[in-house]
Amino acid sequence: MSDSSEAAQDVESQWRRVRTRLRSEVGDAAFNSWLKPLSLMRMEDGEVELAVPTRFMRDWVVSHYADRLRSLWSDESPSVRAVNVRINPPAKPAARPTDGSEETDGSDDRTGGGRPRERELDIGAPLDPRFTFENFIVGKPNELAFAAAQRVGDVATVPFNPLFLYGGVGLGKTHLMHAIAWHIHGKFPNREVVYLSAEKFMYQFIRALRFKNVMAFKEQFRSVDVLMIDDVQFIAGKDTTQEELFHTFNALVDRNRQIVISGDRSPSDLDGIEERMKSRLVWGLVADIHATDYELRLGILQSKAEQAGARNVPIRILEFLAHRITSNVRELEGALNRVLAYSNLVGRPITLETTQDVLRDLLRANDRRVTIDDIQKRVAEHFNIRLADMHSARRARAVARPRQVAMYLAKQLTSRSLPEIGRKFGGRDHTTVMHAVRRIDELMQNDSALSEDVELLRRMLEV
Ligand code: ADP
Ligand code: MG
């Protein structure tokens, strides 16, 4: 291995450790929203360069996490003096608006890689270096998905088109898609693999429409060898984007190019996705990832502990975690990281008691689902209204809208019936709740600020 690639590996593993520590410090919700999208660009002369997709995220990360990033990183490597965050522009200059206004500060002097790689970076999203086949633990619940993903990555032909992967959050869909991409990069370096979320696909399409370079957009997406679209449920109800994806899909299938798509449920259960799209999705192979079982959770914990260099975690602790954190793999990892971070900090071996102590909140969350009280509290905080207004009869928009949002979330996140929800909101009738749910649903279609609020709240409540 050359010196420079060894150095690059060092930096990668420093970055991995910095991320792990940050994640346990800030919690999963903040980590996923702000820190996970950061990608490592390079390290030179003691300066680390990270990239984020948008200006908004850059500003947020800089104002909230810059100091912490720098100090964690200088713990890892004393030679690091600065951590800079820049915007990684989503499209190439040629395909960009000519006024040059948006998100182009930060010099884009990325070098290296042939033509395909550069384009992959432009239209695709960065790949997480940890998400490889080697790091994926296989068990009963995910064996079909894993085998299918490996097949797609391994063969020069198209084994099934598309590969549709589905399962609940945090069960490894994104991991498998990145793993396919890494594998192909290694095995067929000339194949152009593009991975991106359906959300990013939509965003790029809307930009292309707005700036009238739809042709360039179409051309870019239709000439790749492998196209992977993550979380397709995101474009439910977004008809124009779906239509474009549908045409892209057909064009690629015609040219015998591989498509991989993921979703949070089976094609037939994808509400808001057009019928013709659904029927395309089942043309190839549909592979579901089931909820984890105990064996798989234990296997994952053992492998993660080993990767983190923590061989001395008593098996009893791992078993305890595998029994108690049943929600998803992301939380399981988070739990382990917190326990490891704690024992690192206090320098004592891990016991069952400290584990229970450190994870009190997580363990409780895994015991019970989110409650209507939690929802009301969060929503009131978020919109800056009094908790009492969740129950009050006031009808001013400033309180009525947040109240409707809370009812909407109560319907979405709990298994309570409409009358039960109504009672929790100051004894309102079930038709009021139904109306609120419909209204928010409708508004979210067109009001992006509101739909962001709701998404954010949902995410905070779910972790
Ligand atoms: P999804 O996209 O389905 O929501 P992710 O792929 O983001 O889930 O997985 C969440 C986290 O759990 C990631 O850190 C991933 O590496 C990890 N993970 C999920 N399944 C496995 C597995 N079988 N083996 C190892 N890690 C896993
Ligand atoms: Mg995912």
**C-alpha 81 – ligand 1 centre gap (Å):** 33
Closest atom of ligand 1 to 139 CA is 23
Ligand closest to 175 (CA) is: 1
Per residue in 36-80, pLDDT (tens digit) is 878 888 888 888 889 887 666 777 788 778 888 988 898 888 888
Average pLDDT over residues 341-349: 84
Task: Return the H-helix or E-strand segment holding 239.
Answer: helix 239-254
CB neighbour list of residue 257: distance below 8 Å, 6 or more residues apart: 158, 224, 225, 226, 227
Q: Whose CA is nearest to atom 11 of ligand 1?
A: 330
**pLDDT of the residue at 326:** 84
DSSP string computed for 352-418:
HHHHHHHTHHHHHHHHS---HHHHHHHHHHHHT--GGGGTS----HHHHHHHHHHHHHHHHHS---H
**pLDDT of the residue at 100:** 35
Task: Return the H-helix or E-strand segment holding 196.
Answer: strand 193-197
Q: Is 263 in the pocket of ligand 1 (CB under 6 A)?
A: no
Per residue in 187-240, pLDDT (tens digit) is 999 999 999 999 999 999 999 999 888 999 999 999 999 999 999 999 999 999
**C-alpha 175 – ligand 2 centre gap (Å):** 7
**pLDDT of the residue at 93:** 33
Ligand closest to 134 (CA) is: 1
Q: From edge to edge, which strands make up the β-sheet containing 193-197? A: 193-197, 226-230, 258-263, 163-166, 285-288
The residue that leads in pLDDT, 311 or 282, is 282
Look at residue 370 and tell me whether its pLDDT is greater than 50: yes
Q: Which runs of E-coded beta strand occur in 47-145?
A: 47-52, 82-87
Please give the CATH number for the structural domain made up of 372-461.
1.10.1750.10
Strand-strand pairing, 226-230 and 82-87: unpaired
Distance CA 180, CA 147 (A): 11
Look at residue 421 and tell me whether its pLDDT is greater than 60: yes
Question: Which ranges in the chain are annotated with CATH 1.10.1750.10?
Answer: 372-461
Distance CA 459, CA 170 (A): 13
Please give the CATH number for the structural domain made up of 294-366.
1.10.8.60
User: Residue 101: pLDDT band by 50, 70, 90 thresholds?
Assistant: very low
**C-alpha 397 – ligand 2 centre gap (Å):** 35
**pLDDT of the residue at 110:** 34
Average pLDDT over residues 280-309: 92
Q: Whose CA is nearest to atom 19 of ligand 1?
A: 172
Closest atom of ligand 1 to 303 CA is 25
Per cent of the chain over pLDDT 70 is 88
**pLDDT of the residue at 234:** 96
Question: Which ranges in the chain are annotated with CATH 3.40.50.300?
Answer: 120-289
Look at residue 33 and tell me whether its pLDDT is greater than 70: no
Distance CA 439, CA 403 (A): 12
Query: Are the C-beta atoms of 329 and 176 separated by less than 8 Å?
Result: no
The residue that leads in pLDDT, 123 or 9, is 123
**pLDDT of the residue at 316:** 83
Question: Which ranges in the chain are annotated with CATH 3.30.300.180?
Answer: 3-87
Distance CA 4, CA 8 (A): 6
Per residue in 269-280, pLDDT (tens digit) is 999 999 999 999
Ligand closest to 20 (CA) is: 1
**C-alpha 209 – ligand 1 centre gap (Å):** 34
Question: Which ranges in the chain are annotated with CATH 1.10.8.60?
Answer: 294-366
Q: At what angle do helices 329-346 and 294-307 cross, to 10 degrees?
A: 40
**pLDDT of the residue at 75:** 87
**pLDDT of the residue at 35:** 83
Look at residue 166 and tell me whether its pLDDT is greater than 70: yes
Q: Whose CA is nearest to atom 14 of ligand 1?
A: 330
CB neighbour list of residue 24: distance below 8 Å, 6 or more residues apart: 334, 337, 338, 340, 341
Distance CA 336, CA 194 (A): 32
**pLDDT of the residue at 102:** 36
CB neighbour list of residue 213: distance below 8 Å, 6 or more residues apart: 95
Q: Is 170 in the pocket of ligand 1 (CB under 6 A)?
A: yes
Q: Whose CA is nearest to atom 1 of ligand 1?
A: 170
> Pocket of ligand 1, candidates 330, 337, 459: which has the most ligand atoms within 8 Å of its Cβ, to mutate?
330
Q: What is the pTM of this model?
A: 0.59
Q: Is 169 in the pocket of ligand 1 (CB under 6 A)?
A: yes
**C-alpha 333 – ligand 2 centre gap (Å):** 15
Nearest to 146 by CA among 336, 296, 328: 296
Q: Is 131 in the pocket of ligand 1 (CB under 6 A)?
A: yes
**C-alpha 329 – ligand 1 centre gap (Å):** 6
Q: Mean pLDDT across the chain, nearest whole number?
A: 85
Closest atom of ligand 1 to 231 CA is 2
Query: Are the C-beta atoms of 461 and 413 separated by less than 8 Å?
Result: yes
Distances from the Cα of 367 to the Cα of 141, 273, 302, 309, 360, angstroms:
22, 33, 23, 30, 11
Ligand closest to 165 (CA) is: 1
Q: Is 175 in the pocket of ligand 1 (CB under 6 A)?
A: yes
Average pLDDT over residues 104-129: 58
Ligand closest to 230 (CA) is: 2
Average pLDDT over residues 147-165: 95
Q: Is 136 in the pocket of ligand 1 (CB under 6 A)?
A: yes
Q: Whose CA is nearest to atom 6 of ligand 1?
A: 172
**C-alpha 230 – ligand 2 centre gap (Å):** 7
What is the CATH architecture of 120-289? Answer: 3-Layer(aba) Sandwich (3.40)
**pLDDT of the residue at 435:** 95
Average the pLDDT over each of 43-47, 179-183, 221-225, 392-396 and give the range with the smallest value.
43-47
Q: Is 20 in the pocket of ligand 1 (CB under 6 A)?
A: no
Q: Which runs of E-coded beta strand occur in 283-329?
A: 285-288
Look at residue 186 and tell me whether its pLDDT is greater than 60: yes
Per cent of the chain over pLDDT 90 is 52
Strand-strand pairing, 39-44 and 193-197: unpaired
Closest atom of ligand 1 to 332 CA is 12
Nearest to 65 by CA among 111, 34, 32, 95: 34
Backbone angles phi, psi at 283, to 5 degrees: -60, -40
Average the pLDDT over each of 241-255, 329-343, 353-367, 409-423 and give the range with the smallest value.
353-367
User: Residue 174: pLDDT band by 50, 70, 90 thresholds?
Assistant: very high
Q: Is 126 in the pocket of ligand 1 (CB under 6 A)?
A: no
Ligand closest to 138 (CA) is: 1
Nearest to 457 by CA among 354, 400, 385, 377: 377
CATH T-level topology, domain 3-87: GMP Synthetase; Chain A, domain 3 (3.30.300)
